[in-house]
Amino acid sequence: MAWFAAGRYRNSHIVVGQYLGIGALFAASVAAALLALAVPTEYVRWLGAVPIALGLKMLLAPDRAPEPDAPDASGVLAVTTVTVANGADNLGVYIPIFATSRPQSIVVWGAVFALLIGLWCLGARWLVRHPAAGAPLRRWGPAAVPWVLIGIGLWILLR
């Protein structure tokens, strides 16, 4: 992290904001999963219906409205806020997974999230510099998301 402070990474506020935003989503998901402990275990797996419903909704009623321009996320707080706002639907996936996982697994999930945020930021930087590589992702990514959500929901239900 010293390279952030030294100014060697020009857009460090973006990376820090991503970590803070995903950290907030992770913490909210863990808290909600802890609340799920009050529910009998055989019912918790039915939370897997949430990502399935999200995926089916995306397949059956896709949002055809053009996305608004991204807000000017020029500071850490702005990037954090945008990350939380754009990732709030992730709670529908994280909560069921965490509610059906052992505490040790949740810690591993957190470590994986931390590692992957850094890789995600590096990958995004790469895509920005290579627009030809990003074109197929922009074209096919939205079509894949509903199927990924349905797959995650089925995985939770069948565990």
Report the C-alpha gap between 73 and 113 in whole angstroms.
Answer: 22
Q: Which pTM value belongs to this model?
A: 0.62
Average pLDDT over residues 86-100: 82
- The residue among 128 and 28 whose pLDDT is bigger is 28
pLDDT of residue 1: 39
Inter-CA distances, 101 with 38, 88, 94, Å: 15, 20, 10
Mean pLDDT of the chain: 78
Each residue's pLDDT tens digit, 11-52? 677 888 889 999 999 999 999 988 887 877 777 777 778 778
